[in-house]
Amino acid sequence: MENQKIVSAAVAGGLTAALLTTTPIVNLVNCLCCAGIIFGGALGMFYYARLNPEPEMVSPPTAVTVGIVTGLFGAFFAVGLEFIFYEMFGPWQIEFARDIIAQMEEVPAYLEDMLYDIENQVAAGFNWGSILLENLIVLPVFCLIGALIARVFINKNISGKA
């Protein structure tokens, strides 16, 4: 039963983290210290706590498990969502960067070189492997942070009611 609660909480939090990571424009929230991913981990932890019929303190190992599993689910959801958005909008980030560079009076050479390199990588198509690897590193780490932060608030709330 415990594993079922962890998985259902991780799916909810992972889907939230994936949506906040991949949805165009919305994903800019992650420029603020990966706030969207941390929120997904915290949401998974809060959902896990809500699944308990009686309020109880959440142990650190449980919070770590929920956070990491949330990040792993989020990583796989994010790859699927990134592919969908790539097919729908194409490489919209490059168009966004190109528009910003076009408005600059003087463009440094390194910036033009960097944009050229990125455009060549994108021209090769959707890169499943590197996107999955990046997500398998970033999402579990920041979902773990979110779950540990949420644990503090959950335990403080429970101890305050006792």
Candidates 41, 33, 35, 34; CA nearest to 16 is 41
What is the structure's pLDDT at 41? Answer: 97
Candidates 53, 75, 71, 74; CA nearest to 63 is 71
Backbone angles phi, psi at 58, to 5 degrees: -100, 125
What is the structure's pLDDT at 8? Answer: 97
What is the structure's pLDDT at 76? Answer: 95
What is the structure's pLDDT at 119? Answer: 75
Percent of the chain at pLDDT > 70 equals: 95
Mean pLDDT for all residues in the chain: 89
Lowest average pLDDT, out of 13-22, 51-60, 153-162, goes to: 153-162
Going by pLDDT thresholds of 50, 70 and 90, the confidence category of residue 12 is very high
- pTM to 2 decimal places: 0.83
For residues 5 and 48, the answer to whether their CB atoms sit within 8 Å is: yes
Residue carrying structure tokens 């198509």: 125
Candidates 144, 158, 159, 161; CA nearest to 60 is 144
